[in-house]
Amino acid sequence: MCLSIPSKVVSIDEDNVATVETLGVSRRVSLDLIAEPVAVGEYVLIHVGYAMEKIDTKFALESIEIYRQIAKDMQSGEISADEGDAGLSAMQAAANEPNAKEKA
């Protein structure tokens, strides 16, 4: 299973490369695969160094909170790794639903 955690764009340079923050970790990613313009402060989903999709801020923040809660519950032993994986899979499936960004 691949999981893409929303990343906030904190800067964009002249080569269409953004610095993004993902759960407190900064990295540089290419924006070349996204057709629509991306601005500082917006959220993207990234994979292997490329931003793949721009997503709605509300949806991004809700997804980050769900991810943090699942990670916390797994760490504390409240849920098993299998249950955590199931929760993350459900979150990913919801993100892939048509119009998911508008529903969030």
What are the tens digits of pLDDT across the range 87-101?
555 555 555 565 544
Q: What's the pTM value of the predicted model, to 2 decimals?
A: 0.72
Query: For 32-42, how does the pLDDT look when each residue is reduced to its tens digit (9 = 90+)?
Result: 999 999 999 99
- Can you read off the two tokens belonging to residue 58? 């509300």
Nearest alpha carbon to residue 36 among 57, 17, 53 = 53
Q: Does the CA dihedral 66-68-69-73 come out positive or negative? A: positive
